[in-house]
Each structure stands twice: as structure tokens, then as C-alpha cells.
């Protein structure tokens, strides 16, 4: 896969934390496309299918078969069934219930549903999504099912997407993954992925996609860390990082966006944007000139998780 240095994560377009209307979602996707982004990551979990639906509509509306240039990844592990569900971080759409299912049948059903929602007949990558308490079923059923689909050409790469590194490392060592998506664990604040996961991926030729580079907001001036209120000590470290960056004339979010690319195992960084303006701003930040000395000064403020 050639994903490019930055891709678009669509959780915000599914309404993560706050609802996004159709027009705003369309303009966000259009801005990403116009800026040259061709990799889009989505999941049934994001707004109980809303992010997949919106991404699919956008891609189908591109002129001249432009959708063929896109690489789309989605996820399996949460099957959506009709019913009165919970928001689970995505307010506004509660007519579906998320059911954890890492079985072979669950994987096949999930992918069939994702293809229907997006209108796609192929995904560039499929991740097993957050199988934290489901190792046996994920490794024993989900991955073999995905491997068969990969052999059939229905999907491209297969892997796992998680907010932790220990199980991702185990997947890399014990299954035939092509790619991992690690969220929030290789950032300026939390560098735990560099202990085992990234070296193991480098040794085995497994591609790495990094998400959650702002740790859900605190590294972009917000007050959330890993989808909850940031603890005081985390806020203090983020403020100190901002002060150090300011001394070099560099915005903290610019350093946060660029940091993961300093590791040779990292292929792509996901940007999670909910507006066209955020796309423009993030890509401008990502292009900022950052002196090597700044990285040295920030080194001591990170930790291993």
C-alpha cells in the first residue's frame, strides 16, 4: 500500500463528541480530496455506520471515476443491529446497537454491511477493531477469515486497530498481519509504541498507521486526553510542551502532527477533522519548518505510557 504521509480518519464525520451535518461532512471530505489525501479510514463504530455512509456518498459523487484513486480502510468486530442503542461517544444516532463479534460469521457480516453502506466492493485494508478482551476469537476466527478474503482479492491488507500496544505487538508476532493502526500510543505525550511495537513492525515489514496524534484533543489546545477529561499532570506536560514549541515559533499541534513520522516504521498519520477549515489548518501545520533542536527539547517531556 502507498497511503501517503497523511490520511483522513472519519470518526469526527460520524459525530465523535459532537454532531456534524451532511453539508459540513461533504465539505470536509472535499477539502481533504482537493489537498491530495487519498487514504480514508472509517469503521461501523463511527456514528453506527454514519461515517461509512458519508464517505461512500462522497466517493461515488467524484467525477470521472475518481473514487478509484481512493484507498479506504474499515474495521470489523462491531456488528450493527437495529435497536435503541447508546451514543457511545457519537451523539445523535441511536437506532442501532453495537454488538461485539469477532467470529468468522461476524467478520463476513460486518464487511458485507460495510460494503453496502459505502457502495464499495473492495477495501484497501481491514482492521480488527479494538479486540482487547477478545484475543482468542480475534486471532482464531477473525484473522483467518480476513486472510481468506485477502487471498480472494476482496480486501487488500489486513491488520488490527487498537489504543494499546501490547496486543498489537502480539498480533504482529503471532498472526499474518500486513498493517497495524495504533491510536494514541505514539504521540508527543505517550511514546509507548516505540518500546516493542514499532521495532517489531520494522523487523517484520508490517506497515504502521498512527492515529490519535493529539491524544483526542489535549495536544491541539483541548482538554481531553484519550477521550476523557485530561488529568492535571497531563495538562501540565502539554502546556510545557506548548511553551517549548512557542520558544521555537512552532505551534504545538504542528509538532504533534509531525512527531510520528520521525520513526522509520511509521507509514501514515491520520488526521481527524470535522471541517474543511481543519483540513487546511492541519495540513499547513504538518508542513511547518521544525528545527531538530526542538525535538531534543521535547524529548524529556514524553513518556512510555
Q: What's the pLDDT at 94?
A: 83
Output Rg (C-alpha) for the chain, integer angstroms.
Answer: 19
Q: What's the pLDDT at 88?
A: 87
CB atoms within 10 A of CB 178: 19
Give this prediction's pTM: 0.96
Q: What's the pLDDT at 304?
A: 54
Q: Which of 46, 96, 186, 225 is catalytic?
A: 46
Instruction: Enumerate residues 6+ apart whose C-beta is below 8 A from 39.
Output: 3, 4, 6, 7, 8, 70, 71, 72, 73, 124, 268
The model's pLDDT over 9-68, given as tens digits with 9 standing for 90+, comes to 999 999 998 999 999 999 999 999 999 999 999 999 999 999 999 999 999 999 876 778
The model's pLDDT over 206-230, given as tens digits with 9 standing for 90+, comes to 999 999 999 999 999 999 999 889 9
* Buried-state track 4-36, b at ≥16 Cβ within 10 A, e below 16: ebbbbbbbbbbbbbeebeeeebbbbbebbbebe
Q: Domain 6-301's class?
A: alpha beta
- Report whether pLDDT(254) > 70: yes
Kind and range of the H or E run holding 158: strand 155-162
Q: Is 225 a catalytic residue?
A: no
The model's pLDDT over 122-156, given as tens digits with 9 standing for 90+, comes to 999 999 999 999 999 999 999 999 999 999 999 99
The domain ranges of the chain are: 6-301
Amino acid at each position: 500500500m502507498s497511503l501517503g504521509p497523511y490520511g483522513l480518519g472519519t470518526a469526527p464525520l460520524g459525530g465523535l463528541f459532537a454532531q456534524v451535518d451532511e453539508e459540513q461532512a461533504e465539505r470536509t471530505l472535499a477539502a481533504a480530496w482537493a489537498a491530495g489525501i487519498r487514504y480514508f479510514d472509517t469503521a461501523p463504530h463511527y456514528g453506527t455506520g454514519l461515517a461509512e455512509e458519508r464517505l461512500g456518498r462522497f466517493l461515488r459523487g467524484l467525477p470521472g471515476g475518481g473514487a478509484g484513486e481512493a484507498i479506504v480502510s474499515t474495521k470489523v468486530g462491531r456488528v450493527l443491529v437495529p435497536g435503541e442503542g447508546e451514543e457511545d461517544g457519537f451523539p445523535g444516532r441511536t437506532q442501532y446497537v453495537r454488538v461485539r463479534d469477532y467470529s468468522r460469521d461476524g467478520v463476513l457480516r460486518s464487511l458485507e454491511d460495510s460494503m453496502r453502506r459505502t457502495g464499495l466492493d473492495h477495501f484497501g485494508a481491514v482492521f480488527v477493531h479494538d479486540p482487547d478482551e477478545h484475543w482468542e476469537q480475534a486471532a482464531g476466527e477473525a484473522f483467518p477469515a480476513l486472510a481468506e478474503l485477502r487471498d480472494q482479492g476482496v480486501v487488500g491488507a489486513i491488520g488490527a486497530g487498537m489504543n494499546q500496544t501490547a496486543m498489537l505487538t502480539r498480533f504482529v508476532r503471532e498472526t499474518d498481519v500486513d498493517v497495524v493502526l495504533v491510536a494514541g500510543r505514539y504521540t508527543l505525550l505517550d511514546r509507548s509504541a516505540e518500546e516493542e511495537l514499532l521495532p517489531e513492525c520494522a523487523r517484520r515489514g508490517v506497515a504502521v498507521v498512527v492515529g490519535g496524534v493529539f491524544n483526542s484533543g489535549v495536544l491541539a489546545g483541548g482538554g481531553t486526553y484519550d477521550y476523557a477529561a485530561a488529568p492535571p499532570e497531563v495538562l501540565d506536560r502539554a502546556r510545557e510542551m506548548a511553551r517549548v514549541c512557542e520558544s521555537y515559533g512552532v505551534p504545538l499541534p504542528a509538532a504533534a502532527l509531525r512527531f510520528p513520522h520521525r520513526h522509520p516504521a511509521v507509514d501514515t498519520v491520520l488526521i481527524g477533522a470535522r471541517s474543511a477549515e481543519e483540513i487546511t489548518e492541519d495540513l499547513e501545520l504538518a508542513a511547518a519548518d521544525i528545527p531538530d533542536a526542538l525535538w531534543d527539547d521535547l524529548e524529556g517531556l514524553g513518556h512510555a505510557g
